[in-house]
């Protein structure tokens, strides 16, 4: 079984996208508008993983994963366009909201059509869109403030944990796709150690939130990922803001990094524990694959 | 003379009514119909599973294939391989994705009579939202009556599906994986309407 190449190939593709946009020979130059390579890396990395794992999806899309594939293309093009034009917030916000609505609808469509009452559908759709908007704003804010290794590291931890939780709770496929996103961000972590100006701002965060949230909600609604675990994973990047408080800004760098690491890892470790508990309770030894 | 006319009329009525039997409508009886499948496991043995809830309608005339039709729906949520953990995995997005795709459907397009008990049926099967053509050899296994006196008709078919054609690629490998081909047996009993 080839579990590795669907993670390695996206990481390599992402690495190339990063390298081209980041321009190694100019790696210390500030990039106030981020690097377009972040958008390209996440979009191409995720799309290549899905093609490797499942194949090119049919059109019209039938499943939530098919929709995720096509909407990732749309979101990638929009994010690259927004990056190129440096779109202002009043242009960006409605487009982002529209994308979040499209993603939430495409992920929950079977339940909205066949299972849920109207109020339930409205509540879930509104909840996921608002949560997505909050995540985009919060993590985008961090990306603009803090270029360099810290944010890619936070997002790598988040994607890796999402992958582990999804695998433990019944869907290796969703887990591998989240693992591919982790591979893409792993490449960003490595490059950010080398070039401290690497930035995920202006586009890449939108794609990260759309893809990881979609995979987590699919885990909750179509597999067996506990909702609490999914929420903890999705909330973890918010904890990156802890290091921005004025109370701790004067701390030594290692202490500040330790605090940020602890705040991000705590919800992620609880999520892994919840997923592992589910895995054990479901019976580890009576079925393997 | 009057007797002769009546006799001729009666005989002609009998000859008309004993002519070719027209196709009758049947409803699939979910209690006596099921879909079974088997998949090669890690190059070793075969694992069997079933989806015991089958619904649909059949239009059938045993003497002629011309007007025959079948529309069969298999409920994926009823899947069982007699191992709850494996069943949950099979219902997940890795395989049948049952919450998004609660049914597998087959709609026949043409029937060809091979012999008195065999038909070659061509149609479209939809699995995971992907529709592909499928031709299967269908055995007409007989007719009978249930306790209510309703007429029954039975069919059975076995065919091979390449699951990767429907995007169900999880676990497929050159060696050491799960078979990409599933052998499916569909046994249907239907009640005349």
Contact B112, B95 (CB under 8 A): no
**Three-state DSSP class for B192?**
strand
> What is the separation, in whole angstroms, between the first and last Cα of chain B?
43
Q: Rounded to a whole number, what is the distance in Å from the CA of A38 to chain B's nearest CA?
A: 28
**CA of A170: which chain B residue's CA is closest?**
B89
Cα separation of A191 and B46, whole Å? 47
Phi, psi of B119, deg, nearest 5: -130, 145
Among B76, B98, B82, B91, smallest CA distance to A169 is for B91
Phi, psi of A223, deg, nearest 5: -125, -140
Contact B154, B142 (CB under 8 A): yes
For A:140-169, CB contacts with B below 8 A are none
Q: Rounded to a whole number, what is the distance in Å from the CA of A206 to chain B's nearest CA?
A: 24
Tens of pLDDT, residue by residue over A43-88, are 999 999 999 888 888 888 989 999 999 999 999 998 887 766 666 7
Q: Note every long-range contact of B172-180, with CB atoms under 8 Å and residues 24 or more positions apart, other chains counting.
A: B173/A1, B173/A2, B175/B43, B176/A1, B176/B42, B176/B43, B177/A1, B177/B42, B178/A289, B178/B39, B178/B40, B178/B41, B178/B42, B179/B39, B179/B40, B179/B41
CB contact, 8 Å: A62 with chain B? yes
Contacts of B102 in chain A (CB under 8 A): 114
Among A204, A260, A255, A259, smallest CA distance to A237 is for A260
pLDDT band at A284; cut points 50, 70, 90: low
Q: What is the pLDDT of residue B158?
A: 96
How many residues are given for chain A? 289
- E strands of B18-99, at which residues? 24-28, 34-41, 46-51, 54-60, 69-75
**Three-state DSSP class for A174?**
helix
Whether the predicted pLDDT of A258 surpasses 90 = no
Entry pTM: 0.85
**CA of B172: which chain A residue's CA is closest?**
A1
ipTM of this complex: 0.79
Residue with tokens 């960006």: A92
**Three-state DSSP class for A27?**
coil
Q: What is the pLDDT of residue A273?
A: 96
Report residue B104 as tokens. Answer: 């597998």
Chain-centroid distance of CA A124 in Å reads 20
For A:68-107, CB contacts with B below 8 A are none
Each residue's pLDDT expressed in tens, for chain B with a length of 193 residues = 555 555 544 444 444 444 445 689 999 999 999 999 999 988 889 999 999 999 999 999 988 888 899 999 999 999 999 988 889 889 999 999 999 999 999 999 999 999 989 999 999 999 998 999 999 999 999 999 989 999 999 999 999 999 999 989 888 876 668 888 999 999 999 999 9
Q: Rounded to a whole number, what is the distance in Å from the CA of A211 to chain B's nearest CA?
A: 16
């Amino acid at each position: 079984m080839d579990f590795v190449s669907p993670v390695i190939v996206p990481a390599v593709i992402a690495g190339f996208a990063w390298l081209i946009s980041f321009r190694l020979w100019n790696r210390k130059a500030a990039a106030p508008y981020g690097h377009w390579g972040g958008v390209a890396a996440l979009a191409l990395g995720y799309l290549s993983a899905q093609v490797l794992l499942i194949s090119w999806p049919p059109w019209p899309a039938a499943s939530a994963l098919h929709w995720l594939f096509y909407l990732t293309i749309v979101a990638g093009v929009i994010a690259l366009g927004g990056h190129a034009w440096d779109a202002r917030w009043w242009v960006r916000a409605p487009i982002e909201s529209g994308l979040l609505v499209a993603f939430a609808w495409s992920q929950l469509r079977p339940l909205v059509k066949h299972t849920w009452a109207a109020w339930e559908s409205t509540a879930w759709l509104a909840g996921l869109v608002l949560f997505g908007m909050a995540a985009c704003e919060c993590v985008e804010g961090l990306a603009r403030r803090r270029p360099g290794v810290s944010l890619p590291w936070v997002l790598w931890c988040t994607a890796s944990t999402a992958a582990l939780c999804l695998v433990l709770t019944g869907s290796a496929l969703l887990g591998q796709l989240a693992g591919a996103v982790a591979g893409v961000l792993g490449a960003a972590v490595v490059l950010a150690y080398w070039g401290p100006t690497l930035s995920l701002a202006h586009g890449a965060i939108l794609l990260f939130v759309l893809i990881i949230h979609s995979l987590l909600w699919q885990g909750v609604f179509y597999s067996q990922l506990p909702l609490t675990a999914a929420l903890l994973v999705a909330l973890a990047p918010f904890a990156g803001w802890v290091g921005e408080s004025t109370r701790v800004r004067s701390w030594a760098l290692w202490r500040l990094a330790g605090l940020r690491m602890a705040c991000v890892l705590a919800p992620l470790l609880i999520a892994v524990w919840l997923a592992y508990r589910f895995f054990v309770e479901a019976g580890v030894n009576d079925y393997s694959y | 003379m009057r007797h002769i006319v009546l006799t001729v009329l009666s005989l002609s009525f009998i000859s008309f009514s004993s002519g070719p039997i027209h196709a009758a409508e049947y409803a699939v009886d979910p209690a006596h119909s099921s879909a079974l499948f088997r998949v090669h496991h890690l190059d070793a043995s075969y694992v069997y599973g079933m989806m015991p809830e089958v619904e649909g309608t059949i239009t059938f005339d045993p003497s002629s294939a011309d007007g025959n039709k079948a529309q069969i729906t298999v409920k994926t949520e009823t899947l069982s391989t007699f191992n709850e953990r494996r069943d949950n995995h099979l219902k997940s997005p890795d395989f049948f994705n049952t919450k998004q795709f609660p049914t597998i459907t087959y709609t026949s397009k043409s029937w060809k009579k091979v012999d008195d008990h065999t038909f070659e049926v061509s149609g479209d099967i939809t699995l995971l939202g992907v529709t592909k053509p499928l031709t299967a050899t269908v055995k007409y296994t007989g007719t009978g009556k249930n306790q209510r006196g309703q007429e029954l008709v039975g069919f059975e078919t076995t065919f091979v599906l390449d699951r990767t054609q429907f995007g169900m690629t999880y676990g497929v490998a050159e060696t050491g994986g799960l078979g990409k081909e599933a052998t499916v047996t569909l046994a249907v009993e239907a009640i005349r309407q």
